[in-house]
Structure 1
C-alpha cells in the first residue's frame, strides 16, 4: 500500500467509527451498503430515525364517555355495573350488552371500556333518554329501600313541592339456600321484574355467590304543602246591659208564688182502699183450687227416698173434698197403695187431677162437674189427709204450679 493511501484509510475508518457512534447515540437504524461488495463499500449512509407523532390524551367526561373519533366508549368506575353505565348515557342495558357481546349481568372492573352503540347525537351531554325496558313501577320498591329522598317544601300556601332523586343500583349476592322468590320478597319487588332485569331463564335458577341487580331508576317524590287556612270572620257581640258579668252578684227576684201563702186545703178526703186480692200473689197459675182447707203435710218430691207424686194436705176426717176445676170424672176406683179410694177428673189442656184417701164418693165416671163441687169426704185414718196430684197426660207435675 502506498503512503498516500494510508491517511485515506485512516480517515475513512474514522468516519465509519464516528457513524457507528452516532448510530448508537440515536435510535437504531439500518445500514445501507452501496458498492460492489460489502467488504469494499463505496458509500455508507444511515437511514433517518422514524418520527413518532404524539397523540393528545383523551379524558372521559362526567359520565365516563370518551370520543375516539369513529366510535365512542364508556369507562367503568369503581363498583360500577353494565346496567348503571347504560343508564348514565340513556341507552338500553341490553343494547349495550349485546353490542359488546356481554350478558346484562356482566361484572365490570374500574377502567374497563365498553363501546357505545352508534347514535345520531353521539351521546352529547343532556341528550340521553329513558332506557327502554325500564319503568318506575319496576324499581319503585328498590328505590324506597335505597335512601329517603330529600323533600323540598315550598312557601306556605303553595300547591306542592317536587324533587327527583336518582339512586345507585342495588346488588345482592346470592347466599346458600336463597331463591329468586325469597330475594324478591326481601326487596319487595315482583319476581318477574327481577328475572327480566337480570336476564334469567324461565326456571329462575340461581347459583350461590351470583350477583343479582335489584331494579333501580329515578323516582319523583311529591309532597303537598298545607295551604294557609282562611281566617273565619269574628263577630263581636255587645254584651247586654242587664247581663251579669262573671264574679258579680246578681239581684235575686222572688218567685211569684212566694208572694202569698197557699190556702189551707180542706177538701181532702181520706178514702179506705178496698181489700187486696191476695190470690194474685199465688206462686202458681191459679187455675186450680186446693181440694181441702188445710196445711201442706208433704210437698211434691218427684225423686229421692221421700218421693211424692203430689201434695198431701192435712184435714179432719169427714171434711168435704172439692173439685179443683171444671171437668169430667174419668175414674172412680180403689187404689192398691195407701191412697184408698181415688177420683180422677179430666180438665182442659190435657190436664188431669187425682184425689186420694177419700171416701163417701158421690160422683161417677162420665159426670160433668164444676169447680168447688164436692167429690166426697176425707177418709178416717190415724193422720187424716188428702193427696192431690196434677198430671199432664200420664206424666205427673208439681201441683203448686197450678194452685
Structure 2
C-alpha cells in the first residue's frame, strides 16, 4: 500500500485553509472573502490589474451630486437620514422608503444616498461652480467655461473649473451580494467602490442600497501574467552583442565628445517684463502690448494678466472663430475665440468689442479695447479643450 506523506508546512497550510472554510460554512450571513493566495501561498495581483478609476465628483454644500438621469446626496458628519432629507428638500419618509432604511438611522460621513426624484440643481447659490448636472466635456457649452473666467483672473480666486465626467452606473444591492462580488461584476477595485460610496472598513452593505460604480479612467489590461516563483519568470532578453559583433571603431573619449545640445528652457511669464511683438513662428501673438503683471499659475491664475492703458487695442492672438461673448454679474465682458486643434483663447476686462459671435477673426485683428479697471489690464487664457495651459508656451 502506498503511503502518502505531507510535509509539516503543507499540512499546516492545508489545515489552516480547511479550518477557515469550516468557520465560513458556520456563518449564516453571506460572505465573499477572496481566498486566492491563501491556499497556494502565491502572490496575487488581481486587484491591481483592475481598471483605474477617477475620484468621485465633489458634491455641493447640500451634499448633492447631480447627473442627467439621477441625483444622489452625500452624507455629512453627524447626519441622520432625516437631517439629510431636510437639507436637500425631500420628505424624510420618502427618502427612507426609497433607500430601505429608517428616518432616524445614522449615516457615515461620505455615505451615498439615492434621491427618489430631482431636487434643485447644484448652482453657485449651493456652492457649485455652475448650474446643472455633471456632463461630459463635449457637452459643456462654451459660455459655461467663459462665465468662470473672471473669477479665475481674480487675484484671490476661490472657484474651481466646472466639473465634467461620465455618468456612473447606479447599482441596487440585491440579497446575497457583497462589495467583493459587485466590484468583480464591474471590474473595479473594492477599495474604489468603498471610497465612492462611503462604505465602512468591513465593506458592509444592506439589501436595497444604491451604489455608484466608480468610473474607469483607463481600460484594464487585456491579459495578465500569472505570478511565478523567483527565478521562474520570463527569460532574460539576449543582448544585441550576442548576435552582432561590437563596432570596430573605438568611441571617442568622453572629454572629447561633443556636448549635447542644451534643452530650450520652458518659457515663463516674468512679472514686470514688457511684452514684445511675437515672432512669426510663434503659435500666437500677444493680444495687447503692455507689462505682464501676473503670471500663469494653474488653479490660481489660469492665464496671464497684461497691464495696458485704458483704450489700448486688443487683438486676436490667433486666427479662429468667435465662440462666445458674455458678461458676468458685474458686467465684465468675456470674449472666447475657438481655434484649430481644440484650442480656445479667453479675453476678459475688455470693452468696445468689435466682433460678434460666429465671426471669423484673423491673427492680429482688433477685437476689443482694454477696459477701465483698476488696474487696467487684459486677462488672457489659452485652453486645450477645457484644461488651461500656460499661454507663454504659445507666445514664444
| TM-score, normalized by the shorter chain, greater than 0.5 | no
Question: Is the radius of gyration larger for structure 1 or structure 2?
Answer: 1
Q: Taking structure 1 as the reference length, what is the TM-score of the superposition?
A: 0.28
Q: Which has the higher contact order (CA 8 A, sep 6+)?
A: 2
Q: Taking structure 2 as the reference length, what is the TM-score of the superposition?
A: 0.29
